[in-house]
Amino acid sequence: MIDFVNQYLIPALVLGGIYALGAIGVSMIYAILRFAHFAHGDLMATGAYIGLLVVWVLDATPLAELSVNVRLLIGLPAAFAGTAAVAILIDRLFYRPFRRARSMIVVVIASFGVALMLRSLVQLFFGVDVINYADGIQFPLKMFQPLRILERHIYIVVVTIALMLILHWFLTRTRTGKAMRAMSDDADLARVSGIDTERVVIWTWILGAGLVAVAGVFLGMDTRLVPTMGWDLLLPVFAAAILGGLGQPYGAIAGGLIIGAMEELSTYPWVGDGPLVPPDYKTAVAFAVMVLMLIFRPRGIFRGRVL
């Protein structure tokens, strides 16, 4: 039982949290801007590499004595703000001119182009090789034995929960959050009611891009950095958003946790001695869930918008 918790349940919780942070942005952007943002994964990679820059800068300061995980936590605000700024710039240059287009497919195609541009810029400045935030092996904390919990997993889970609570407070208690919910329900009515829709759009990009940047840093902490890391996770993130219900941030959280759990737990040897699904194919679980949800319940668990 303890091996199941250590090798499957804890990684499932960590991966689900990363998916949830990414799916929130996909869901919010679709609800407010009405298009599927296929550059969202590359914004994740952008945030991860901004985190790498912070680590490099802190290496030249007295803070270099801190563990790399702590330095990455210090760099999270920079990754959040930097990626949000990139997203707002992209919106102004490439998406805003098409905002009133008769068909949003134009913006969807534009987002593919943006994804390629972001990936190329990352490759230009950081190269195409795999990079690790820290060298060497990180061992589990002894204080939690027999649980084998890594320091980085504690940080990922705690910060993810904190961000979700902050998001809940923002959407339910602030004027901007309520305006975002109103625009999600009916953009034209929100505009007629006097809501500054462009301000809502800016906050949508800030939250969506900022959260996926944090997800990128966490993914880099848990695995490694490679320019295609965000693109590789785009399918599970979309699957999580669709499963929870497009346009429903809380559904995205639930969908992310469910997809992450299903991917990791599908590799457990439920039948026989070998894994039920080979680890190399566990991403196919997310694809299968997304297809089944689109067929049998296209509005998702929380009854969001139809893709």
What residues does 131 pair with on adjacent strands? 225
Class of domain 2-133+142-296: mainly alpha
Q: Is 73 exposed, middle or buried (0-12, 13-18, 19+ CB in 10 A)?
A: buried
Neighbours of 264 (CB within 10 A): 22
pLDDT at 137: 73
pLDDT at 305: 64
pLDDT along the chain (307 residues), means of 10: 82 94 94 92 97 93 90 95 97 89 85 96 94 81 78 94 95 92 84 88 96 97 94 92 87 92 86 79 83 82 68
Cα(185)–Cα(189) distance, integer angstroms? 9
Contact by Cβ (8 Å): 260, 160: no
For the chain, give every domain's residue range.
Answer: 2-133+142-296
The candidate with the shortest Cα–Cα distance to 222, out of 173, 145, 155, 172, is 155
What residues does 225 pair with on adjacent strands? 131
pTM given for the model: 0.94
Cα(293)–Cα(287) distance, integer angstroms? 10
